[in-house]
């Protein structure tokens, strides 16, 4: 039994194994249907029967409440409507949920004469992925040969299981959720010690994952009345964005079909080109940093990060991860073979090829030392300093029973995944990176909490007009948290500089505009300005001020680069 629950024990009768190990948890496969599946035979001490059916509903709170208000627990539900359209590419099925009523995701077709009962999925699921049947009736992804839906034949031979990632992708595309409805029963011949004669009484228990009702009869008089029945509903939620399994569905690319990449130059200056080979020599290959923009632009699916100035990674969900370097010229460096080894699609490989450039600026030593010498650097990237300092400060303040920031809302929840040094020397890119910095450290300051903690003279001016959020925050740090005036002034100046730069450059269209010249003058810069230099001139002093605040809050030694330096 799961979780070491003994067969025939009171815990077994109460379905504690199922409630703790299955309910509300996602696994690689999701059981979407199971029909009267028995374990045990007649006259055995303990037997079990399971039944599951799944149905679709709109992905909104009202649909969830409606589904859970329904007090019938039988596994029968309205089938809904599917419209058939014939096109030059074949037959297309369109679902029509109409109102917010649920629709069955999988249907049992009764036996007819000598032909047994069979399961049929909601047809648009097959259509969405263009799935195909194998010789056993299972559904296969024709692009990669993966088993996507396991369908028993006949229907009573086992559960119908669907790959959870495919299911969540489909739900995201249709803005729906899947509600699984379960009716599980356990029987025993002799009364179970430690179990009362009646338990449950029809009470419905609501949990984060759904709800359930458990009824138990442990009759002393009749073996016909010794059983427990668990009826439950739980939700499978959609991915945040459809297409998340797309990279798994690409046909495998033969090495000879890969494009060639510039990997080096000969003594005569001629470019030397290679094709990605997962088993080949490690060829460091250089790319314009614009190659990362598409990944930063889709933070719900991709993650890009630099732990140190010259070493980071780019990844796609749980499907692939590629180590990347960043040299002093800002170029991105990748081992060419990793593009093939990671299982990237052909289109993705071509994206990297478009941004491929001849080697320039030398190797990223952080990348080389970590990858080849197994000797990671002890110096943090600018991005790492900003993020890690912020969370060290948050924890220190929370330990005092206070908070600094409000939760991110909507798309802003990805701010910290997209925080970056400008990738290229363009006004739009610089403006976006400064906007992210401002949102992360200024716009989500919990100004209301600060004002509740402060007397009037520290939150309003002499005329009673509310002070700005940065000033109020600074006063709060000093008056409520007890940070020294010197440290507070450093933080305040750094935040006001970020605010000033965002305000001035937000109305500009190009680096040559007068608003940029004003920013350059106020920052005391004189030489040729690039987006990277301008960004560093405001964020490096800010990162220093954050470390100073960490020291004042006695959490500086918790920053990983400080800990390394002290070891």
What pLDDT digit, counting tens, does each position of 443-495 carry?
A: 999 999 999 999 999 999 888 899 999 999 999 999 999 999 999 999 999 99
What pLDDT score was predicted for residue 77?
A: 39
What pLDDT score was predicted for residue 125?
A: 86
What pLDDT score was predicted for residue 340?
A: 86
Count the alpha carbons within 13 Å of 58 in the hemisphere toward its beta carbon.
12
Closest CA to 440 of 406, 478, 488: 406
What's the pLDDT tens digit per position in 166-199? 999 888 888 888 888 888 899 999 999 989 888 8
Distance CA 529, CA 516 (A): 10
Angle, helix 485-506 to helix 469-476, in steps of 10 degrees: 170
What pLDDT score was predicted for residue 103?
A: 67
Closest CA to 304 of 284, 323, 281: 323
- Contact between 529 and 373 under an 8 Å Cβ cutoff? The reply is no
Q: For residue 211, what are the CA distances in angstroms to 60, 73, 204?
A: 17, 12, 7
Count the alpha carbons within 13 Å of 93 in the hemisphere toward its beta carbon.
15
* pTM, full prediction: 0.63
- Contact between 555 and 546 under an 8 Å Cβ cutoff? The reply is no
Sign of the Cα pseudo-torsion (463, 469, 471, 475, in order): positive
What does DSSP assign to residue 2?
G
Portion of the chain with pLDDT greater than 70, in percent: 88
Following DSSP, what letter does each residue of 159-192 receive, concatenated? Answer: -EEEEHHHHHHHHHHHTEEEEEEEEEEEEESSPP
Q: pLDDT digit of tens for each residue in the chain (567 aa)?
A: 445 678 889 999 999 888 876 666 778 899 988 876 555 556 788 988 888 888 888 787 776 776 666 555 554 434 344 444 444 544 444 444 445 555 677 877 778 888 888 888 877 788 888 889 998 889 998 877 889 999 988 877 878 999 998 999 888 888 888 888 888 899 999 999 989 888 887 788 888 778 888 999 998 888 778 999 988 888 888 887 777 676 556 666 777 888 999 999 888 889 999 999 888 778 999 999 999 999 998 887 788 999 999 999 998 765 678 999 999 999 999 999 998 887 777 778 899 999 999 999 999 998 988 888 778 888 999 999 999 999 999 999 999 999 999 999 878 888 999 999 999 998 889 999 999 999 999 999 999 999 999 999 999 988 889 999 999 999 999 999 999 999 999 999 999 999 999 998 887 778 778 888 888 888 888 767 888 999 999 999 999 999 999 999 999 998 989 987 776
- Contact between 359 and 521 under an 8 Å Cβ cutoff? The reply is no
Closest CA to 67 of 213, 208, 172, 178: 178
Distance CA 285, CA 434 (A): 30
Q: For residue 150, what are the CA distances in angstroms to 56, 98, 329, 403?
A: 19, 29, 51, 49
Mean pLDDT, the chain, whole residue set = 84
- Dihedrals φ, ψ of 231, to 5°? -115, 130
């Amino acid at each position: 039994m799961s979780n070491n629950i003994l067969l025939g024990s009171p815990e077994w009768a109460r379905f504690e194994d199922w409630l703790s190990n299955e309910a509300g948890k996602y696994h690689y496969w999701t059981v979407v249907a199971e029909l009267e599946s028995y374990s045990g035979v007649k006259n055995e001490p303990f037997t079990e029967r399971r039944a599951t059916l799944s149905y679709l509903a709109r992905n909104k709170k009202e649909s969830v409440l409606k589904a859970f208000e329904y007090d019938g627990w039988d596994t029968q539900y309205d089938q809904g409507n599917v419209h058939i359209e014939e096109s030059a590419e074949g037959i297309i099925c369109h679902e029509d949920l109409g109102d917010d009523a649920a629709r069955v995701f999988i249907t049992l077709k009764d036996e007819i004469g000598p032909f047994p009962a069979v399961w049929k999925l909601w047809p648009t699921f097959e259509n969405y992925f263009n799935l195909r049947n194998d010789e056993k009736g299972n559904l296969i992804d024709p692009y990669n040969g993966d088993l996507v839906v396991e369908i028993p034949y006949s229907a009573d031979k086992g559960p119908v299981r669907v790959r959870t990632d495919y299911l969540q992708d489909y739900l995201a595309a249709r803005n729906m959720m899947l509600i699984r409805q379960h009716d599980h029963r356990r029987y025993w011949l002799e009364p179970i010690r430690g179990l009362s004669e009646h338990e449950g009484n029809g009470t419905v228990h609501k949990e984060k994952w759904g709800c359930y009702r458990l009824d138990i009869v442990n009759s002393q008089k009749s073996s016909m009345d010794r059983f427990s029945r668990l009826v439950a509903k739980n939700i499978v939620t959609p991915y945040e964005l459809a297409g998340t399994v797309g990279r798994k569905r690409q046909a495998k690319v033969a090495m000879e079909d890969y494009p060639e990449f510039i990997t080096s130059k000969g003594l005569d200056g001629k470019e030397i080109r290679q094709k990605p080979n997962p088993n080949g020599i490690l060829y460091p290959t250089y790319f314009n940093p614009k190659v990362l923009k598409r990944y930063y632009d889709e933070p719900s699916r991709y993650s890009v990060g630099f732990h140190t100035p010259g070493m980071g990674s780019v990844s796609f969900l749980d499907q692939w991860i590629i180590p990347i370097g960043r040299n002093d010229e800002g170029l991105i460096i990748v081992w060419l073979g990793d593009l093939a080894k990671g299982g990237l699609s052909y289109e993705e490989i071509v994206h990297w090829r478009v941004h491929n450039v001849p080697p320039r600026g030398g190797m990223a030593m952080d990348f080389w030392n970590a990858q080849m010498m197994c000797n990671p650097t002890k110096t943090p990237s600018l991005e790492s300093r900003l993020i890690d300092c912020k969370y060290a400060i948050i924890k220190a303040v929370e330990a005092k029973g206070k908070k600094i920031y409000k939760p991110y809302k909507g798309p802003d929840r990805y701010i910290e995944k997209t925080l970056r040094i400008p990738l290229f020397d363009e006004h739009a890119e610089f403006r976006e990176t400064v906007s992210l910095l401002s949102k992360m450290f200024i716009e989500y300051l919990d100004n209301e909490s600060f004002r509740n903690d402060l007397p009037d003279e520290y939150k309003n001016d002499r005329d009673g007009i509310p002070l700005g959020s940065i000033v109020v925050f600074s006063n709060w740090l000093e008056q409520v948290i007890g940070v020294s005036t010197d440290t507070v002034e450093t933080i305040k100046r750094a935040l006001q500089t970020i605010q000033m730069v965002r305000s001035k450059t937000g109305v500009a269209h190009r680096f040559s505009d007068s608003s940029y010249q004003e920013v350059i003058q106020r920052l005391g810069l004189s030489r040729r300005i690039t987006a990277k230099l301008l960004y560093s001139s405001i964020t490096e002093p800010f990162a220093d001020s954050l470390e100073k605040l960490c020291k004042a809050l006695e959490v500086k030694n918790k920053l990983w680069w400080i800990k390394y330096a002290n070891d």
